[in-house]
Amino acid sequence: MNYISTRGAGIGERHTFSDILLGGLAKDGGLYLPNEYPKVSADELARWRALPYADLAFEILRKFSDDIPDEDLRELTRRTYTAQVYCNVRDEENAAQITPLKTLGVEGGTPLSLLELSNGPTLAFKDMAMQLLGNLFEYTLAKHGQTLNILGATSGDTGSAAEYAMRGKKGIRVFMLSPHKKMSAFQTAQMYSLQDPNIFNIAIEGVFDDCQDIVKAVSNDHAFKAQQKIGTVNSINWARVVAQVVYYFKGYFAATKSNDERVSFTVPSGNFGNVCAGHIARMMGLPVEKLVVATNENDVLDEFFRTGIYRVRKSSETYHTSSPSMDISKASNFERFVFDLLGRDPKRVLQLFRDVEEKGGFDLQASGDFARAQEFGFVSGRSSHDDRVDTIRDVFEQYDTMIDTHTADGVKVAREHLQAGIPMIVLETAQPIKFGETIREALEREPERPAAFSGIEDLPQRFEVLANDAERVKEFVAERTR
C-alpha cells in the first residue's frame, strides 16, 4: 500500500503507513490517501461478520498498513479494543461489543438505530481512533528509537481524547492548551484530573482561538519544532480516519442478517473525518446505500451537498452552538472526498483548494462533477438548537433513551432520509453527560452519568496557568523536554 497526496506529491514515491503515521499534511499541503482503496471480497465480508471488534479492526487495518507485521498489528488491536477500555456502556451485557447497536424503533418502514461510539474513556467517538493512535505511536516510536512531544489546543473533546490515549505511553509527552476557566466543570475535571507525568495541561489566559494561535505560532517556528520533536494529532491524521472505517463494518453486521442487505448511515459531522471513514468503507465494498451528512447551524457541508458550492465561513459567521464539536468554519478532511469526486485528479484538487485559500471557496455545480456526489451515496441536512432540544425530548419520551446534542443533530437529519426496508444507523458521537446544559433544557433532569465518572469534579487537578504568549509556552515545553 502506497500513500499519495490529494495534491499530487508522492506519486511515484514510496510512502508507507508508518511513514505518514506521525506526520500531518503532505509537503504540498494536501492530505494523504492510499493510491487505491483495498476491496473486500464477498468471502471476506462473510467471514468478518462473526469477528469480535478487535479482530475485525485487525483485518481492515492490515489492508492499509502492510508495513506493520501481522502479529504486531493483531496485538495492537487486541490491546486497544477491549471491554475494559470501552467500559462506559449503558447496558452491561453489551460490554464486549465495543460499539453496540441500539435499535430505537421502526420509523418510515425501517429500523432506526444508534451505533454507540462513545463508550470509551472520554465518552466521545474520538476515543475509537485516538486509543489506537496512542498504541500505534508508542509502537512506531519504540521501533525507531524516537520520542514525540504532542502539542495541541482544545476546547474539550479532542484534547481529552488525546490525553487519555497517550497517558503513560513511552516516548510520548502531551502538551495540551485549553482556555483557562472556559470549559465546563465536567470537561475540565476530565482533563485536569489526569496525574500522569507525561501529560501537561496548560490553561491559557485567553479563549480557545488564542490557544490555537499559540499552537500555530509554535509550529511555524520550524527550528523549535524540529529540535523539540513537536507533533500534532489533529483530525486530518490518516490513521485516525482509517481506524474509524472499522465501526461502519461492525454497525453493518449488527443491523443486517446477510450481506445482500444494504444500510444507510447518518453521521453528525464537523471536520468530515467520521463520514470520510464511511465513504472509504463504501469504496471498499461495504453495501452502504446512503451516507447522510448531518450538520448543525455551521452548515458548510450541508450547503455543499445541496448546492455544489463549498464556501468556507469567516469566524464572524461561525456560530457557537449547543453541539460545539461540530462548530467548524471549514471541513479539514473534505479534500479527501473531493479528490475521489473529481476522479482522483490532483491538479484540479490543487486548483480548487487554492481557490479556497484565495477566494474562500469553489463551485462544482456548473462543472457537472457535483452530480456524481449522489453516486457516492452522499446526502445531507442541518439542524438547529430547537431541533436538538425537540429531538432529545422526543427520543427520550418515545424510546426511553437519552441522547447527546450531536447525536440529536444526527437523528433529526436521519429522519428526513429514511427509506423503507433500508435500516438507518445514526452514529452516536458522545454521551449526554458531556453536554448537560442542553439535556436539562430539554428534559428538566440531570444527564445520565456513567459510574466511572461519579464525583470526578472533586478529584485533585493538575494543570499550569500560563499567559497568552507563545514564547512562554515554548519555554514551558523546553524546560520539560530536557
Ligand X SMILES: *Cc1c(COP(=O)(O)O)cnc(C)c1O
Catalytic residue positions? 126
Residue 422 near residue 262, CB atoms below 8 Å: yes
Work out how close the CB of 3 gets to ligand X at its nearest, in angstroms, rounded to a whole number.
20
Cell readout for 168 is: 503513560
Q: For ligand X, which stretch binds (CB under 6 A), given 61-69, 190-198, 263-271, 473-481? A: 263-271
30 vs 120 by CB, closer to ligand X: 120
| 305 part of the interface to ligand X, by CB under 6 A | no
Beta bridge pairs of residue 102: 114
Enumerate residues 6+ apart whose C-beta is below 8 A from 420: 108, 109, 110
Residue 137, SS3 per DSSP: helix
Work out how close the CB of 404 gets to ligand X at its nearest, in angstroms, rounded to a whole number.
7
Closest CA to 335 of 276, 278, 281, 381: 276
Question: What character string, x for contact with ligand X (CB under 6 A) and - otherwise, covers 209-248?
Answer: --------------------------x-------------
Q: Residue type for 84, please? A: Q
Beta bridge pairs of residue 152: 176
Residue 451 near residue 335, CB atoms below 8 Å: no
Q: For ligand X, which stretch binds (CB under 6 A), given 11-19, 33-41, 267-275, 394-402? A: 267-275
Count the residues of the shown chain that bind ligand X, applying the rule CB under 6 A.
16
Residues numbered 83-142 forming contacts with ligand X, rule: CB under 6 A: 124, 126
Closest CA to 300 of 264, 272, 277, 265: 272
| 269 part of the interface to ligand X, by CB under 6 A | yes
Question: What character string, x for contact with ligand X (CB under 6 A) and - otherwise, covers 146-185?
Answer: -----------x----------------------------
| 274 part of the interface to ligand X, by CB under 6 A | yes
Residue 87, SS3 per DSSP: coil
The DSSP secondary structure of 437-470, one letter per residue, reads: HHHHHHHSSPPP--GGGTTGGGS----EEE-S-H
Q: For ligand X, which stretch binds (CB under 6 A), given 35-43, 59-67, 174-182, 266-274? A: 266-274
Q: Which helix (H) or strand (E) holds 273?
A: helix 273-284
CA distance linking residue 304 with residue 173, whole number of Å: 38
* Residue with cell string 464525583: 455
171 vs 268 by CB, closer to ligand X: 268
62 vs 434 by CB, closer to ligand X: 434
Out of 429, 466, 473, 474, the residue judged to bind ligand X by CB under 6 A = 429
* Residue with cell string 479527501: 336
Q: For ligand X, which stretch binds (CB under 6 A), given 82-90, 105-113, 167-175, 268-276? A: 268-276
Work out how close the CB of 285 gets to ligand X at its nearest, in angstroms, rounded to a whole number.
22
Cell readout for 83 is: 471491554
Burial 8-19 (b: 16+ CB within 10 A, else e): bbbeeeebebbb
Out of 159, 273, 278, 447, the residue judged to bind ligand X by CB under 6 A = 273
113 vs 296 by CB, closer to ligand X: 296
413 vs 466 by CB, closer to ligand X: 413
Handedness of CA 138, 141, 147, 151 (dihedral sign): negative
Work out how close the CB of 337 gets to ligand X at its nearest, in angstroms, rounded to a whole number.
12
Out of 120, 134, 152, 268, the residue judged to bind ligand X by CB under 6 A = 268
| 270 part of the interface to ligand X, by CB under 6 A | yes
Length of the chain: 482
Q: For ligand X, which stretch binds (CB under 6 A), given 188-196, 270-278, 411-419, 460-468? A: 270-278
CB-side neighbour CA atoms (13 Å) of 334: 26
Out of 173, 348, 382, 406, the residue judged to bind ligand X by CB under 6 A = 406
By the criterion CB under 6 A, which residues form the site for ligand X?
124, 126, 157, 235, 268-274, 325-326, 406, 429-430
